[in-house]
Amino acid sequence: MPIYAKSAKNGEEKERLAEHTISDIEAIHVLVENLPFGAAKKKRIRTDLDESMAFHDVGKAATGFQDSLEKDAKPWGRRHEIVSAVAASSAGAKDVVIFGIITHHKTIISDGVVIYGCLPEEQIPFKNQIYPVWKQMAEQWNQNIEPLNDEWRKICTAIGRDDLLSKPLNLATPLSDNIRNWLYRDTQPICFSFKQRYYASLLRGLIISADHIMSAGKILPARIPILNKYNITSHSLYGFQTRVGKKVGNLILRAPTGSGKTEAALKWAQKNQKKNGRLFYTLPSTASLNAMHLRIKQSFNDIDNRLVGLLHSRVASSIYSILEQDNDSSSRDISISNQAIAKTLSSLAREMYFPIRVCTPHQILRYSLQGKGWELMLSEFPNSCFIFDEIHAYNPKLTGLTMATAKFLVDRNATCMFLSATLPKFIRKLIEHEIPSISFMQPSYHNDSDRRILEQKRHILEPLLDGDILSNIDLIVREAEKANSTLVVCNHVPTAQEVYRRIKDKIKDTVLLHSQFCRRDRNNIENDLLRSKLPLSDKLFKKLPKILVSTQVVEVSLDLDFEQGFTEPAPIDAIVQRLGRINRYAILPPTKVRIFSKQSHPYNIYDANLTERSLKILSSLRNPLGEEDLNEAADRVYGKSYSYDNQVEYEEGLNYPRLKKFKKYLIAGTDQNWIDEVIDEKEGSVSLLPEPLVEGYRTLKEQGMTIDADDLLVPVGRWRTYLFKDERRIDKSQDPWVLVDCNYSTEIGLEI
């Protein structure tokens, strides 16, 4: 009778235990080869992992587990990894091997506070502490010992470990007191050194990642590429790009929007890659990540989706959208296949699979603050290059956490780069204080090509317009009729919706973009806007809309180039990003930008004093504006430091205990499930299904189009859900939650 490890899925047969284990070991060998360590350390790790993986699933031989693999069967309700660990213990395996086996699905035993996801104490047989449930588990396992031995011989032979065959499989030896000390939070840091806990965590992370990778799709990871073998750009470089590409070590780069910061950063990464070093490219906006993901895939010729991974909260939808753009047919079978591929790549992005990752800074923090899966950083972060783009857009607490993480990374032989179009001097000084070895670069007047960037004048800033945007619709329409394309940026979704309605009545070629469209509709709007860069024929290009009314989502998410713009008041860094979407490439003579003196919506999403100071200083600049004018203005706005409250937030992040005292807080086999609350994740939101989309959602689900269905959900910031509490407009009895009694359309989005 064969022993199986996995149930039948997608029409395939159940997977034999030996087959599954051997594939996991193959993945482990690739992961070990990709580690940024010396040969001796990798040899030790591989030996321990071979033994861990050989034993890690033998507990699945228990009859109860085998029965649970049948179609529509109930779960066994027992932990197979506990049986596996006792089998390894009985064979004389090292404690660190046993620990990796027993914790490769669950965290260590509850301390009375954390319960969900922990190992069940009553199922674990310690010396002088054996509960009846363990005796039942052992009895069920022993019933299948003969067929298990057949699988065991195949496993040991496949990995060349005939020595393991000399040790018959049995459950004769309960777990030792030493293992007991490993499995309790209060005893582990007392009984074991930081070095021991670090190594146990490293092994655990590798075991979990190999298991997840092969479960996701049985596609072995690629070897870490040598980055400088790729030609990332075909055009000539600016002087600052060449200098950045030759710089070894940590670096701050300040360069104007649209001047080629990304190419410079990738050239820097090519120069600074160390042995088996990975590359992490972070951006604060989820929307901007999708475009950057495509850009970096092209730079490194990733045609088979094995080098560059995308990591954020809605990554499956983003990848599926890319795949569907290449799908010329309307075949549902192809779409379902693309969904399966997207889900696989989404799962792999969270494992040690892609050597290049594009993500938000929150994903890096999730590891450094010991959120779920944090152990991967012990294998991936050393020797790696980290690029923190748009650092000026971080809030003070996130800046502090990022700086604490950067210090942590540099201490582990990683190299960091910070990018910004408008980096206030005081933030530069904060970075230099925390990373004393870091250098600073920017375009130079002493270089001819750089001088062209610095001297270009792209904008004429008109005097502040009296009143708010809603009282000036006629002015916007009148000026828009004189230009080919006009960008109008609002600070709030309701304002943008109302502005759009009023303008649409007068100019039909008007488009609305904001964050409260469902993913399907937002993708369609953004893709249509981006097609304005593509030729319809040799001489004809699709035009931008006459007017785009948008919120802040346009600031960093879309590479667009409008002729002129109007914007609500905002701090200078936000204004500069909005300017970066107007006459972006300086193809036209300096174009007009107008800022309203007042905001329509009563709620300030920006610091009111900072916004007021920004408008005052911007109004004092001489036209047309140059890049240095904006940098100097940003320095004047922000002054020499954060405000008192912002400084408190920054220091709170900078001195976060789990980073500052990493050695003290490291407990192997644990994670912190409240990390999202600590980092106040920007992409954190509640995904709600507007009532008008419920029928379409259910139809797509019935057709197996699960990603298409989920793309009908609308992300609503958690802070906004208070609007619905009194009215009980969120129906939590349904999955997903339904927002009842609301208006939604593909043209306007969700109206709150």
Q: At 324, is the pLDDT very low, low, confident or very high (cuts 50, 70, 90)? A: low
Q: What is the DSSP letter of 248?
A: -
Q: At 587, is the pLDDT very low, low, confident or very high (cuts 50, 70, 90)? A: confident
- Residue of 685 and 614 predicted with greater confidence: 614
Single out the residue of 682, 688, 692, 686 nearest to residue 748, CA to CA.
692
What Å distances lie between residue 704 and 332, 385, 612, 714, CA to CA?
A: 9, 40, 52, 20
Q: Are 366 and 675 in contact (CB under 8 A)?
A: yes
- Express each pLDDT in 499-546 by its tens digit: 999 999 999 999 999 989 998 999 889 888 877 754 434 443 458 999
Q: Is the predicted pLDDT of residue 426 greater than 60, yes or no?
A: yes
- Express each pLDDT in 231-284 by its tens digit: 998 789 999 999 999 999 999 999 987 788 999 999 999 999 999 999 999 998
By DSSP bridging, strand 279-282 and strand 356-359 are parallel
Q: At 719, is the pLDDT very low, low, confident or very high (cuts 50, 70, 90)? A: low
Structure tokens at 61: 């031989």
- The residues, any chain, with a CB within 8 Å of residue 227's CB and separated by 6 or more, are 266, 269, 270, 273, 279, 300
- The residues, any chain, with a CB within 8 Å of residue 645's CB and separated by 6 or more, are none
Q: Are 396 and 650 in contact (CB under 8 A)?
A: yes
What Å distances lie between residue 253 and 12, 224, 266, 286, 418, CA to CA?
A: 52, 26, 12, 22, 6
* Backbone angles phi and psi of 187, in degrees to 5: -95, -30
Structure tokens at 681: 């994740």
Tell me how far apart the alpha carbons of residues 474 and 455 are, in angstroms, rounded to a whole number: 34
**Listed ranges 150-154, 310-314, 722-726; the one with the highest mean pLDDT:** 150-154
Strand partners, 631: none
Q: At 676, is the pLDDT very low, low, confident or very high (cuts 50, 70, 90)? A: low
Report the pLDDT value the prediction gives residue 540, as an integer from 0 to 100: 39
- For residues 10-41, b (16+ Cβ closer than 10 Å) or e, as one string? eeeebbbbbbbbbbbbbbbbbbbebbbbeeee
Q: How many CA atoms within 13 Å lie on the side-chain side of 4?
A: 15
- The residues, any chain, with a CB within 8 Å of residue 568's CB and separated by 6 or more, are 468, 469, 489, 490, 491, 495, 595, 596, 599, 600
Tell me how far apart the alpha carbons of residues 36 and 629 are, in angstroms, rounded to a whole number: 44
- Determine which of 43-47, 267-271, 638-642 has the lowest per-residue pLDDT on average: 638-642
- Residue of 584 and 724 predicted with greater confidence: 584
Report the pLDDT value the prediction gives residue 672, as an integer from 0 to 100: 81
- Express each pLDDT in 469-492 by its tens digit: 999 999 999 999 999 999 999 999
- Express each pLDDT in 50-102 by its tens digit: 999 999 999 999 999 999 999 888 999 999 999 999 999 999 999 999 999 99
* Backbone angles phi and psi of 719, in degrees to 5: -65, -20
Q: At 707, is the pLDDT very low, low, confident or very high (cuts 50, 70, 90)? A: confident
Within the chain, how many helices (H) and strands (E) appear?
35, 22
- The residues, any chain, with a CB within 8 Å of residue 735's CB and separated by 6 or more, are none
Q: Is the predicted pLDDT of residue 573 greater than 70, yes or no?
A: yes
Q: Are 61 and 147 in contact (CB under 8 A)?
A: yes
- Report the pLDDT averaged over residues 639-653: 89
Single out the residue of 514, 489, 625 nearest to residue 567, CA to CA.
489
Q: How many CA atoms within 13 Å lie on the side-chain side of 193?
A: 3
Q: Is the predicted pLDDT of residue 580 greater than 70, yes or no?
A: yes
Q: Is the predicted pLDDT of residue 601 greater than 60, yes or no?
A: yes
Return mean pLDDT, the chain: 88
Q: Is 293 helix (H, G, I), strand (E, B) or coil?
A: helix
Structure tokens at 462: 């008109």
The reported pTM is 0.88
Report the pLDDT value the prediction gives residue 216, as an integer from 0 to 100: 75
Tell me how far apart the alpha carbons of residues 159 and 247 are, in angstroms, rounded to a whole number: 44
- The DSSP secondary structure of 557-621, one letter per residue, reads H----BSEEEE----HHHHHHHHTTBSTT--SSPEEEEEBSS-SSSS-SS-HHHHHHHHHHHHTS
- Residue of 627 and 617 predicted with greater confidence: 617
Structure tokens at 691: 């009532």
Report the pLDDT value the prediction gives residue 333, as an integer from 0 to 100: 66
Tell me how far apart the alpha carbons of residues 449 and 666 are, in angstroms, rounded to a whole number: 50
- Express each pLDDT in 335-370 by its tens digit: 666 666 666 666 666 677 899 999 988 889 888 888
Positive or negative: CA dihedral 179, 185, 187, 191: positive
- Report the pLDDT averaged over residues 665-686: 70
Report the pLDDT value the prediction gives residue 539, as an integer from 0 to 100: 40
- Determine which of 309-313, 506-510, 573-577 has the lowest per-residue pLDDT on average: 309-313
By DSSP bridging, strand 4-6 and strand 15-16 are antiparallel
Report the pLDDT value the prediction gives residue 747, as an integer from 0 to 100: 96
Report the pLDDT value the prediction gives residue 564, as an integer from 0 to 100: 96
Q: At 305, is the pLDDT very low, low, confident or very high (cuts 50, 70, 90)? A: confident
Structure tokens at 413: 């032989």
Q: Is the predicted pLDDT of residue 411 greater than 60, yes or no?
A: yes
Report the pLDDT value the prediction gives residue 683, as an integer from 0 to 100: 44
Q: Is 105 helix (H, G, I), strand (E, B) or coil?
A: coil
- Report the pLDDT averaged over residues 595-606: 93
Structure tokens at 551: 């919120």
Share of the chain above pLDDT 70, in %: 89
Report the pLDDT value the prediction gives residue 192, as an integer from 0 to 100: 97
Single out the residue of 502, 534, 84, 710 nearest to residue 512, CA to CA.
502
- The DSSP secondary structure of 439-500, one letter per residue, reads EEE---TTSHHHHHHHH-EEEEEPPPBSS-GGGGHHHHHHHHTTSS-EEEE-SSHHHHHHHH
Tell me how far apart the alpha carbons of residues 148 and 104 are, in angstroms, rounded to a whole number: 21
